[in-house]
């Protein structure tokens, strides 16, 4: 059964499988968001402090506290694990396939959770458990956007890939467990983390493999069946259906071209076809996503909210998390409706403005002594998160899935994601030291990084919305196409991007092609012709 994506009066068939695979794969984001979102609360739970903190008076929680090093290792070892996991995830996804790689990575995460739950009085065991869980999370962060981008129909690829970020934001569960007596408080919070990978494992068993990975391994009929599933087309009609045959031919031609080229780690730094350009771009965008300053608020927002009398960190988490979660829905719409470049540029400027307000207010007047300044800073923080959730949060994960060519996509995605986790660790570990030295002026640093992000997007990022992954690769290879005019780029045989989108939708909906030109009809139906496969 097919759903229909409506745009400009052209219906495009989208199968319910496409929606389900996005939701299930995005459980990987839920796993990460949950694990990072709960640790700050776990560190405050009385039984956890009695077991793992340093206590001056045994059994008296008021005398227990974590050293900076111990707390930093418990929190940051997850990021170290995610960094290693992202790099390991690339060869795993290439060898096992995207689908089964994610299943294995979920199992690794579950092992890490079990290690944490069975810790009794040795904090190092709990920290190692987070390291192991991080391996699974990091590998998933590389595999999930790639799987979604390779499997989802191009018309809704942005929306479906953005659900990964949406699930990252949904993490406020520990508030219901903090009053459970004894070890049950923190063990319940940690143990619930097993639910998400179990759901993902079971669900993914019924989802199709990436058609591009299947085609790369000469499993063309299975690739056609996978495309048919996401389009709501019967399996027995896959090879003969015009929508499937057009897309599979394009994928097959692209795979044949790339089969003549290498796809190892060193090839991620090749100058040919702008591979190095795209590797550095992906790493830069993922780094800049961390340098927006979002995690400064998510990890250390409690001290800001204390300035207006909100001292309960659980409430702080809910306020910031709620803004992030609900605004991400808007981000899914924005990235699908307005493309990739414009939202990221506007978002970078918007975020920089509110960070400047935040930093200037906190530097001019002590917010603990002035309620009005404290409230202004909270408003600035929420407005910053609003912009971040609607642009840079979902947008970067979308781009990581659709910017790279098939032969090196897994490895380039891994390098980009590893950059994200590297900065995640650095910011999480060093922010307390930086804040103690420059206090709220730290916001000026993040404001500058957001402006830098907007500049990088304008001068280096190509507009990839509405294009198939193979056509995105062709666009980056076109010497006549520049980032600032890429919004209007279209492959040979089409007048404009709008013309390409309209003709593709008309063909997929089995409607007459506007214009009636036979040559245009052939361009739509034959994705493997010379114009569509022309390379640099």
* CATH at residue 195: 1.20.1250.20
The Cα 325–Cα 450 span in angstroms is 21
Beta strands in 340-428 (DSSP E): none
In a domain, 495, yes or no: no
Contact (Cβ atoms closer than 8 angstroms) between residue 249 and residue 528: yes
3-state secondary structure of 433: helix
Q: What is the pLDDT of residue 169?
A: 53
pLDDT at site 511: 41
Confirm whether 483 is domain-assigned. Answer: yes
Residue 128, H or E segment: helix 123-151
Q: Is residue 351 part of a domain?
A: yes
Is 266 contained in some domain?
no
The predicted pLDDT at position 168 comes to 56
Residue 446 lies in a domain: yes
Q: For residues 314 and 458, state if they share a domain.
A: yes
Please list the ranges in the chain whose pLDDT falls under 50: 1-11, 511-535
CA distance linking residue 330 with residue 393, whole number of Å: 11
Q: Report the predicted TM-score, pTM, of the whole model to 2 decimal places.
A: 0.74
Q: Are residues 167 and 103 in the same domain?
A: yes
Domain count, the chain: 4
Q: What pLDDT sits at residue 453?
A: 97
Shared-domain flag, residues 253 and 320: no
Judge if 89 and 178 occupy the same domain.
yes
CB count within 10 Å of CB 8 equals 9
Indicate whether 127 and 39 sit together in one domain: yes
298 and 401 both lie in a single domain: yes
Question: 101 and 22, same structural domain?
Answer: yes
Residues 93 and 216 in one domain: no
Alpha helices in 232-312 (DSSP H): 242-258, 275-291, 294-300, 302-305
Residues 392 and 442 in one domain: yes
- Decide if 534 is inside a domain: yes
What pLDDT is attached to residue 521? 40
Instruction: Domain of residue 299: give its range.
Output: 271-489
Closest residue by Cα to residue 78 from 19, 131, 18 = 131
Q: Are residues 520 and 453 in the same domain?
A: no
In this structure, the chain runs to a length of: 536
Predicted local confidence at residue 460, as pLDDT = 96
Claim to verify: residue 297 and residue 240 sit in the same structural domain:
no
Structural tokens at position 515: 């214009």
- For the chain, the straight-line distance linking the first and the last C-alpha, in angstroms and rounded, comes to 40
Chain centroid to CA 499: how far? 30
Q: Does residue 21 form part of some domain?
A: yes
In a domain, 203, yes or no: yes
One domain for residues 233 and 355: no
Q: Which of 328, 323, 470 is nearest to 395 (CA)?
A: 328
């Amino acid at each position: 059964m097919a759903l229909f994506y409506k745009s400009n009066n052209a219906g495009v068939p989208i199968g319910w499988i496409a929606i389900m695979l996005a939701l299930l794969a995005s459980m990987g984001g839920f796993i990460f968001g949950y694990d990072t979102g709960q640790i700050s609360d776990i560190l405050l739970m009385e039984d956890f402090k009695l077991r793992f903190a340093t206590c001056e008076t045994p059994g008296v929680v008021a005398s227990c506290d974590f050293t900076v090093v111990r707390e930093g290792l418990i929190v940051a070892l997850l990021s170290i694990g995610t960094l290693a996991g992202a790099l390991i995830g690339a060869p795993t996804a290439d060898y096992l396939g995207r689908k089964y790689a994610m299943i294995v990575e979920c199992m690794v995460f579950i092992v890490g959770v079990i290690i944490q739950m069975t810790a009794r009085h040795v904090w190092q065991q709990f920290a190692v458990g987070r390291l192991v869980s991080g391996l699974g999370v990091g590998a998933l962060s590389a595999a999930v956007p790639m799987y979604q981008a390779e499997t989802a129909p191009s018309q809704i690829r942005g929306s479906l890939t953005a659900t990964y970020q949406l699930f990252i934001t949904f993490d406020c569960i520990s508030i219901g467990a903090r009053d459970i007596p004894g070890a049950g408080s923190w063990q319940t919070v940690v143990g619930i983390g097993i639910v998400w990978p179990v759901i993902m494992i079971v669900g993914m068993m019924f989802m199709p493999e990436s058609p591009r990975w299947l085609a790369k391994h000469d499993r063309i009929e299975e690739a056609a069946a996978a495309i048919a599933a996401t389009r709501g087309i019967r399996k027995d009609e896959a090879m003969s259906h015009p929508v499937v045959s057009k897309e599979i031919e394009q994928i097959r031609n692209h795979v044949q071209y790339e089969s003549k080229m290498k796809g190892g780690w060193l090839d991620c730094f090749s100058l040919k076809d702008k591979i190095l350009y795209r590797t550095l771009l992906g790493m830069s965008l993922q780094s800049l996503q961390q340098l927006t300053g979002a995690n400064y608020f998510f990890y250390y927002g409690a001290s800001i909210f204390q300035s207006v009398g909100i001292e309960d960190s659980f409430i702080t988490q809910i306020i910031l998390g709620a803004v992030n979660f609900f605004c991400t829905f808007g981000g899914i719409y924005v990235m699908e409706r307005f493309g990739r470049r414009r939202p990221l540029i506007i978002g970078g400027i918007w975020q920089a403005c509110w960070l400047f307000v935040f930093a200037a207010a906190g530097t001019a007047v002590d917010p603990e002594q002035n309620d009005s300044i404290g409230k202004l800073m909270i408003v600035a923080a929420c407005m910053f998160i609003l912009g971040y959730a609607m642009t840079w949060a979902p947008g970067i994960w979308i781009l990581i899935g659709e910017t790279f060519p098939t032969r090196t996509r897994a490895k380039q995605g891994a390098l980009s994601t590893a950059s994200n986790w590297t900065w995640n660790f650095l910011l999480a570990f060093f922010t307390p030291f930086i804040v103690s030295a420059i206090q709220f002026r730290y916001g000026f640093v993040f404001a500058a990084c957001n402006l830098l992000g907007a500049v990088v997007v304008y001068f280096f990022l190509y507009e990839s919305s509405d294009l198939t992954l193979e056509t995105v690769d062709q666009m980056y290879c076109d010497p006549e196409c520049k980032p600032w005019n890429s919004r209007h780029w279209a492959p040979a045989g089409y007048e404009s991007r709008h013309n390409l989108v309209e003709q593709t939708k008309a063909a997929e909906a089995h409607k007459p092609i506007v214009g009636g030109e036979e040559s245009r009809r052939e361009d739509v139906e034959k994705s493997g012709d010379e114009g569509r496969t022309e390379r640099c």
